Structure 1
Amino acid sequence: MLSQPLSKVLGKKTADELIRQGLLTVGDLLHLLPRRYDTWGELTELAQLVEGEHATVQAQVLRSTSRRTRGGRPAALMEATVTDGASTMDIVLFGGAGLMSHYAKQLAPGTTVLLSGKVGLRRGRRQLASPRFQVLDDLSEDEREALLARPLPIYPGTDALPSWKLAIAMRTVVDQLGDEDVPEPLPAEVRAAHRLVDALTAWRWIHCPQDEEQWRAARRRLRYEEAFVLQAALARRRVEHESTHAAVAWSLPGPQSLRADLDAALPFRLTAGQVRVGEEIATALDSTVPMQRLLQGDVGSGKTLVALRAMLQVVGAGGQAALLAPTEVLAAQHRASLEHLLGPLARGGMLDGAVRATRVHLLTGSTPAPRRREVLAALAGGEPSILVGTHALLNESVQLPFLGLVVVDEQHRFGVAQRDALRERGGVTDPQALPGSQERRTPHLLVMTATPIPRTIAMTVFGDLDTAVLDETPGGRSPVATHLVPWEREPWVEGIWRRAAREVATGGRVYVVCPRIDVTDEELTDLAHGSLGVGADEPDTAGLEDLVSALGEDPSPARPLAAVTEWAERLAAEPALEGVGVGTLTGRMSPAEKTAAMEDFASGRTPVLVATTVVEVGVDVPGATMMVILDADRFGLSQLHQLRGRVGRGDRPSLCVAVAGCEVGSPAYHRLKAFAETLDGFALAEADLELRSEGNVLGAAQSGRRSDLDLLRVTRDARVIEQARGEVQAVIARDPGLEHHPDLAAAITERLDEESQAYLERA
């Protein structure tokens, strides 16, 4: 029944309109759930009606007529006069000529009718325009009372197919359903444990409820079913993946190992969180089950060191590790940071290298050809080393025969396909085997993020990734005070530059971030460049969801967005900053220019740096004490938090000033308010999820309102998801192929489209 075309169940006109909306089958229509439920409300006497109020009346029709309008739309209207025995009022409905003629016949004189709508006045008489109505002549008193209490499902209708027509179509379909027509994905013991109604009852009650209790019970059942089916899809794919894919087990490092040498050389102690998470990752690497782990840690929590220790476990055992970064600036910073942490341990094969040592290679689109050939040859030859790079690592010319671990930093900058492209090449079973060996195994995967994007949180809750959380901040970091400044408060804006001068005078450095590079640039294009720090290997299309959602709120602001070139000139002429060097940094600059700009900033030659969001991630200047974000309402929460993370990296108090021009109550206002109220990246991620939804949980979209969830919401229903996960694991453990649960297997197939199936295959 559920697969039956709507054209065989409903009238052709209704079915054709539903098909135009993408609803082809009975099952498709059933999944069009009511947005909300309404009721008729308490009856009101006509004499007591007040203009502007929403009222429900029971009355008798005195007269009714329909007529065409003179040109334009709507084509016709139906007018009627009704009475409750003491007073009268007018009714008017608009629509097509045929429909209005039909309404006039329904509301023939003498008909008793229930009407609900907003009361208006026309020529001094009370009127209901376009009210809901229900003819009562064929109903008993008891049935009339039940009708008043019955919830009315409200659907996302259109002009051609309004909510009330959808409700009629839905009732027609639901009335034809039998027990044999509706599959039951939930095992009986699960339904009993949670006191859930069966599937057929749930569909009947959610579309045709007799009271509020019924539709609430139906929604609870269908919400749990949704969690259960999605968990089952993830669990079954994971079991299949683990049974058909294997990784090299990299032995736990002993006291005479590369990782132990690093630990002994560190000038500080690891935090308890770094030790705990490090051991979790080390154990996962010492397994042939491919690790899929999300390393969550707020800005400055020490994720890079945790990732380095994991890479040394692989490299020290003869394997290779790759660290994928979204920008050239960040990749270069990572390479410098890793070499600084390793010291002599990073100088393998050199006279001043340690006894046990490796090498850290850098590969980006701007790497000179001779150096590129040298790096590629060393890697292809199987040198146990760490490779740091940008999208250039995804090029097929990069051969890593003994790749054992892929680390992805700031994963929200990469699509799922990009994240998995490097990993899918695999590594050989034995690091000592010949590079040409065809026996391949899947590398382990470690994904790092400081501010999880909505889909990441969703997939974490749904169980796609194991999680490791760094919930401590190493000593030496100072808190960052955050202030919001509206553009219209000009004295406040001017005060920002006086404060910047004081920061510079006491040895600090000041970032000024703009959403555009040039005044004449297209906004979205330059937000892309600014966000990614575009270089030869960095496309300008990845990671733009934050920016697109922000721009979508107001694509044509009255005041031009701040641009780097404009503000660099303005600050150079700012009296408060007289004598202070002002530099610039954008994604359009060459790698050499970027490096020089950062060196000038860090050294103090240009202690004020006007930049795009190329400085968003990875840039580490301990002397930076002030971050100014111009047009902050044009950035997403994760970007704002990352930008704020560029200051407070030393032991001096720091501040972040966000200058914005958004209206109070707008989405941008709520985003900035959340940003200013907490420094906790995890809390901001939850706020981001609330503001932007989960995104397509089983597809490629990172966030937004096109969620493939019907009733389930990650932030609200985490407990439901956890319960479903535990019960699904028990089912899959007993029946991995779901041979004994055919309805559940069918629900998974029906639920997942080809894109979602492909996503699960990759994940």
Structure 2
Amino acid sequence: MSDALDTILDPKSVARLESISVSTVGELLRYVPRRYVRQGQLSDDDMPVDDEWATVVGRITGSRMIQMRKRHGQFLKVTVTDDNHTYEANFFNARFIQHQLKSGARVMMAGKVKIFQGKVQLSHPEWAVLPDGDPEVDRVVGSAMLSEMYAVEAEVTGGDVELAGLDRPIVPIYPSTKEIQTWHIWGAIRRVLAALETDGTRAATEDALTPEQRAHRGLISTDDALVRIHLPDTEDDIDTARTRLKFDEALAIQTVLAQRRIAGRGESAPACPHVVGGLEDRLLERLPFTLTDGQQAVVGEIAEELGSDSPMSRLLQGEVGSGKTLVSLLAMLRVVDNGHQCAILAPTEVLAAQHYRTMRKMLGDLAEAGELSAAERATKIALLTGSMKTAGKRQTLLDVVTGTAGIVVGTHALLEENVTFFDLGMVVVDEQHRFGVEQRDVLRAKGRDGLMPHFLVMTATPIPRTVAMTVFGDLETSVLTELPRGRQPISTSVVPMGNASWVDRVWARAAEEIGAGRQVYVVCSRIGDDAEDKKSRRSADSEAPKSTSVLDQYAELLAGPLGGFRIEMLHGRLPADEKNAVMDAFGRGEVDLVVSTTVIEVGVDVPNATMMVIVDAERFGVSQLHQLRGRVGRGGHPGLCLLMSAAPQISQAMQRLRAVQESNDGFELARVDLEQRREGDVLGSLQSGGTSSLRFLSLLSDAEVIADAREFADEIVGADLPLADHRPLADLVDAILVPSKVEYLDKS
């Protein structure tokens, strides 16, 4: 499977396959069909789009020569239908082919699509008349595309090329490009499969599963699955092949993740048992409320792992406002009680500053070490961001390297080489999907004396269980679903932007809320400054409907019905001191309304903010909308979120907004988000560094397969970490997750 293709194929075929990043036998056999065409049936492929290279299989319903208007000569116009769509194919210099392309013939055509006046056109495509039970069609005729099929058939059948491979009951159609077409790929695959066959018997590679393990799961061998997926005789062949290849994909991922989990147990971390009367206990005594049952359970899970000398690797996911920050703070205080430092990495300066303020407020004099007002055995919380002034940054770096700062909150600035910790015992990463794997690795490598810091990942974006098992499969998972007592419900409504009276009512409602002494967020999808506008003009999407910017919305509200209120704006390109000043003033109630980008998406906590207006809401994802609205209703009053949108009532975008309107269940909305965004986006982290991808595994519907593969991988890897005695499994991992992907997973 690892042999180079040039040992079997001619240089021209090898060069074509390299254009789709296929260079070995294994990579070619795992380049699976996109769909199939059944003999006697027409294609049910989706409607192609402009400039796409499409392969059409259908029946000719019309064929006639037409005189060209602007120059001498004629062209052949052929109409083909596949029972779902009708296509027009135009052939120039067609005198020699007009007698083959007759009405009623079943044909395959391939070429670049053009949409003209609502019609799908193929200009001078490749073509072939297919066998269709017609006694007059005693051989396949067509364009140059058939030379590949004839050549392959000559090799496979010893010279009998009549009807070529298209006489099979089921014909595979592969993802193709202008450089390499579906018949080239199929021809190469048939050559390879023929080369693997000797005396009618195909050479077999050792399977990752024993016959007993396959029988237990009702699976065929991987070799058999790879043959059936390319050369199926029945629908059952396709189904059984897909079932095995789906399990192989799940097993490859779970094996790598099991290796990471088990290898991590061999690392050493600072053990941090409970310290009676320490900062953790003193904070719990001061809390004006009782932890929820969910918080107590998660605190217990984390405490048990922190007490061990094996590094904790845990994902803490929870609903917006479920109290993750408090749980992480209690964990960090336990580490500080044991004489170590903690770092919390946030994706934005606004969120880092919010964490800093929140923890300082929670701890009070327990976080004032070095100040006259400090409590006994207090610690210090330091903030480090890229925009800090030199003097402040120098003092923070000194507090970090001397160990004076027990907790260090920061952005990417924490990752710089000049940031040295005295004794880093724990790393907390908030909204980890905002960071690259190499960036997170930098912090984990800053431990002392070869010890690995404990690691806690937090996200307020709920993750379906199957995704957590796959994308975060190397982390143990804790979930907070219970909201703290007293948290108010949030009502959500979609507002059509095309209705002026509705829009006026939105701003009138905001004025009522402010008049009642409360505060309002208005969120826009872009800033609207010169740099952004220049980028937009260069973008291919510049002709798309223009969205409302922060700058425009701010000016409009000042000049409109809310002009009498205290309005500020907030976005990522403001200087850090201005951003902090706006948020501090908003937190103190000195600002009535803030017009913002998504910098307030996570972590921002202003209990008096009760209303949020999201402008152009269709430009945000489902989970992001759920995150944003979690900023309101955090105090004693109910929250209101209005989703303003110009999306058509019947559209996928409006379906997303309706889903957010109708549910406050973040996990249900995450499932909707996953369905609409498609799984490739979620699996992007597993698919970096190569074109090969997961083609069979579904994170939504294959929970049982993923769980089975995880249990199987744990059992094998637990007894044989390097897979020294399970070489076929190691080969399977390498075949599905190419080396660059395994390296990525190993870091992530």
The question of a shared fold, defined as TM-score above 0.5 by the shorter chain, is answered with: yes
The offset of 1:515, in angstroms, is 2.1
Partners of 1:327 and 1:279 in 2: CA distance: 30
The offset of 1:726, in angstroms, is 0.7
CA 1:173 to 1:582, structure 2 compared with 1: closer, same or farther past 3 Å? same
Larger displacement relative to structure 2 (360-369 or 724-733): 360-369
Does structure 1 residue 324 correspond to structure 2 residue 349?
Answer: no
Partners of 2:133 and 2:632 in 1: CA distance: 75
Partners of 2:290 and 2:107 in 1: CA distance: 78
The correspondence of residues 248-647 of structure 1 with structure 2, limited to 5 A, is: 248-251=270-273, 253-383=274-404, 385-427=406-448, 439-452=449-462, 457-458=467-468, 460=470, 463-518=473-528, 520-522=530-532, 555-558=542-545, 560-575=546-561, 577=562, 579-647=564-632
> Which deviations, in whole Å up to 9, do the C-alpha atoms of 1:708-734 show, x marking residues without a partner?
312112222121111111111111223
Aligned partner of 1:37 in structure 2 is 36
After TM superposition, the score normalised by the length of structure 1 is 0.80
Partners of 1:581 and 1:102 in 2: CA distance: 69
CA 1:498 to 1:420, structure 2 compared with 1: closer, same or farther past 3 Å? same
Amino acid at match of 1:197: I
The offset of 1:418, in angstroms, is 1.7
Partners of 1:526 and 1:109 in 2: CA distance: 57
Aligned residues: 676
Partners of 2:283 and 2:440 in 1: CA distance: 28
Larger displacement relative to structure 2 (627-636 or 293-302): 627-636
CA 1:292 to 1:8, structure 2 compared with 1: closer, same or farther past 3 Å? same
CA 1:364 to 1:16, structure 2 compared with 1: closer, same or farther past 3 Å? closer
Q: Residue 231 of structure 1 contacts residue 725 of structure 1 at CA under 8 Å; is this kept in 2?
A: yes
SS at match of 1:80: coil
Partners of 1:89 and 1:623 in 2: CA distance: 72
The offset of 1:282, in angstroms, is 0.9
Q: Residue 608 of structure 2 contacts residue 635 of structure 2 at CA under 8 Å; is this kept in 1?
A: yes
Larger displacement relative to structure 2 (365-374 or 719-728): 365-374
The offset of 1:472, in angstroms, is 0.5
CA 1:555 to 1:152, structure 2 compared with 1: closer, same or farther past 3 Å? farther
Amino acid at match of 2:435: F
After TM superposition, the score normalised by the length of structure 2 is 0.81
Q: Residue 471 of structure 2 contacts residue 686 of structure 2 at CA under 8 Å; is this kept in 1?
A: no
SS at match of 2:568: strand
Larger displacement relative to structure 2 (679-688 or 452-461): 452-461
The offset of 1:24, in angstroms, is 1.8
Partners of 1:404 and 1:441 in 2: CA distance: 8
CA 1:579 to 1:26, structure 2 compared with 1: closer, same or farther past 3 Å? same
Partners of 2:688 and 2:109 in 1: CA distance: 39
Q: Residue 359 of structure 1 contacts residue 385 of structure 1 at CA under 8 Å; is this kept in 2?
A: yes
CA 1:674 to 1:704, structure 2 compared with 1: closer, same or farther past 3 Å? farther
Does structure 1 residue 227 correspond to structure 2 residue 250?
Answer: yes
Partners of 2:536 and 2:465 in 1: CA distance: 25
The offset of 1:514, in angstroms, is 1.6
Name which of 699, 709, 722 aligns with 2:694: 709
Larger displacement relative to structure 2 (490-499 or 693-702): 693-702
The offset of 1:699, in angstroms, is 7.0
The offset of 1:335, in angstroms, is 1.2
- Structure 2, unaligned stretches of length 5 or more? 43-55, 61-72, 77-88, 112-123, 151-156, 158-162
Larger displacement relative to structure 2 (682-691 or 282-291): 682-691
> Which deviations, in whole Å up to 9, do the C-alpha atoms of 1:423-466 show, x marking residues without a partner?
11222xxxxxxxxxxx2211111011101579993555662211
SS at match of 1:659: strand
Q: Residue 519 of structure 2 contacts residue 589 of structure 2 at CA under 8 Å; is this kept in 1?
A: yes
Partners of 2:619 and 2:683 in 1: CA distance: 28
Amino acid at match of 1:169: A
Q: Residue 7 of structure 1 contacts residue 16 of structure 1 at CA under 8 Å; is this kept in 2?
A: no
Larger displacement relative to structure 2 (481-490 or 619-628): 481-490
Q: Residue 75 of structure 2 contacts residue 91 of structure 2 at CA under 8 Å; is this kept in 1?
A: no
Aligned partner of 2:177 in structure 1 is 158
Larger displacement relative to structure 2 (350-359 or 452-461): 452-461
Amino acid at match of 2:550: V
- Root mean square deviation, CA, Å: 3.9
Q: Residue 109 of structure 2 contacts residue 128 of structure 2 at CA under 8 Å; is this kept in 1?
A: no
Does structure 1 residue 692 correspond to structure 2 residue 677?
Answer: yes
Q: Residue 248 of structure 2 contacts residue 732 of structure 2 at CA under 8 Å; is this kept in 1?
A: no
Q: Residue 325 of structure 1 contacts residue 388 of structure 1 at CA under 8 Å; is this kept in 2?
A: yes
Partners of 2:452 and 2:108 in 1: CA distance: 65
Aligned partner of 1:61 in structure 2 is none
Partners of 1:495 and 1:443 in 2: CA distance: 53
CA 1:636 to 1:90, structure 2 compared with 1: closer, same or farther past 3 Å? closer
The offset of 1:299, in angstroms, is 0.8
Name which of 167, 173, 188 aligns with 2:192: 173
- Structure 1, unaligned stretches of length 5 or more? 44-52, 58-67, 117-129, 139-143, 428-438, 528-550
SS at match of 2:243: helix
Amino acid at match of 1:247: A
Does structure 1 residue 722 correspond to structure 2 residue 707?
Answer: yes
Partners of 2:109 and 2:692 in 1: CA distance: 35
